[in-house]
Amino acid sequence: MLERTNLIGAITAIAFFISAILVFVFRLLGKPQYENWLGYFEFLLAIPLIYLLIQAPRLERPTLYYIQIGCMLAWLAVEALLDHILKIDFRQVRWIVISYVVLFFAGTGGLLGVASNAGRSWSITAIILFLIMAALTFVQRAVTGM
């Protein structure tokens, strides 16, 4: 049970990192239609994250584990609310962007912790993808202003 749960966490983290990388690449390429579909895929990743939270007490996970997953779920909720439900153009309001980016990196940083439970190779893969994603985050912001 523990190994399976850890593997689900690692796969979810890596799937998110790859998806985020593709979102930033498609923003740089000016292809918002692909970005939207990837965003919907990212929302679906809430399902395994919620599953991990449900399993956490049985596996006696530390408080940090709940915080890590909670930050990612919070970012997904904020993303859904601002971009998809209310459709607010918040990326021009500095304080909202800063809060949004902090929550994004708290969530994605938490996914690194979740992935690390599955072992060294999963952890290294997640770290490499996280670094690529982080670099692309700032590159696409500088290029597109989004």
The identity of residue 132, as a single letter, is I
CA–CA separation, 133 and 118 (whole Å): 21
CB atoms within 10 A of CB 139: 14
Domain interval for residue 133: 2-144
CB atoms within 10 A of CB 53: 15
pTM of the model: 0.94
pLDDT per residue as tens digits for the range 73-116:
999 999 999 988 998 888 889 999 999 999 999 999 999 999 99
Domains: count for the chain: 1
- Whether 3 has a pLDDT exceeding 80, the answer reads yes
The per-residue pLDDT for 89 is: 87
Q: Are 5 and 59 in contact (CB under 8 A)?
A: yes
- Whether 146 has a pLDDT exceeding 80, the answer reads no
pLDDT per residue as tens digits for the range 123-132:
999 999 999 9
The per-residue pLDDT for 1 is: 84
The per-residue pLDDT for 145 is: 80
Angle of CA points 53, 86, 17, to nearest 5°? 45
